[in-house]
Homo-oligomer: A and B are copies of this chain.
Amino acid sequence: MESEKEFLSNYNIKDYERPSLTTDVAAFMISTEDKTSDRKDPDNKLRLLLIKRGGHPYKGCWALPGGFLQSNETVEECALREIQEETNVMPTALLPVGTFSKPGRDPRGWIISNAYVSIITEESVKQVAMDDADDAQWFIVSFEQSDDGLYHLTLEYDDVSLKAVLSEEKTSYRRTEFRIIESGGLAFDHASIIAMALTVLRHEAKKFDAIFDFLPEKFTLTALQRVQETIMNVTVLPGNFRRMIGSYVEETDEYVKGERHRPAKLYTRKK
């Protein structure tokens, strides 16, 4: 009878056909736009990092950052490594989106992707200068459902505008996935991945869960409210937001002064 040790020494894993495994990361950031007036608060924009592909396939198209999994790391570590290689910044959050494995999704062959949402603070992005002629850019994100039920994903930066159209499909097991009707110049099935990533992000934001990761350690409640409103694409009454967020935050004794209005107290995330 063969022992486990003997079995493993005889076992050759290369006997089976294997796929390549990649990680794609939807890295989000919220930017505070330049003030239009010196009295009003600035607008916030949700932004997504895209890379212009320099090689085939989908040469010239924009794609999510990502890369092949290495054998000494987990998929989460791979996602973090890819984001850091691309931005020189460490994300503050990483959320799983799903596995994309439909045969034919990558013309290079049998390639399966694990998708993640990562969140990066504007603060940290500003510290590393970004070359404007670079092939990595932060696109302003808009994702809305129109009256006919279709979803419209718009990604804009300077004069580049990518418009994808997707339909929400319920699989036979009631999982929702997004079918690409118009990819809008996005590589592979990345329009679908981005739509899923936004769904995950909004789901987390609804529970006040991912919003803290867009801000520094200490923040004002209004800043936090703007983050949630930007992600969810809604507006909330300030009084109600404060009541609801109350159990998630802790006061500090610091204030933001210097603005032309009452100073705001800084808070930190509880626990």
Contact = CB atoms under 8 A, between A and B. Distances in A.
Interface of A: 2-4, 7-8, 11, 13, 16-21, 55-59, 68-69, 71-76, 91-96, 98-99, 101-103, 107-112, 114, 171, 173-175
Contacts of A94: 173, 175
Given A94-B175, A108-B13, A175-B94, A4 B57 contact: yes
- Tell me the number of copies of this protein: 2
Interface of A is mostly: loop
Nearest to A12: B109
A73 B112 contact: no
13 contacts: A4-B56, A4-B107, A11-B109, A13-B110, A13-B111, A19-B21, A19-B71, A69-B101, A73-B101, A75-B112, A94-B175, A95-B173, A96-B175
Please name the 5 residue pairs, one residue from A and one from B, whose CB atoms are nearest each other, closest first: A7-B56, A13-B109, A18-B18, A94-B173, A74-B101
B19 A69 contact: yes
Contact of A16 (B20, B58, B93, B99): B20
Contacts of A175: 76, 94-96
A7 B57 contact: yes
A55 B2 CA distance: 10
Contact of A99 (B13, B75, B107): B75
Given A19-B18, A57-B4, A96 B93 contact: no
B18 A73 contact: no
Nearest to A1: B59
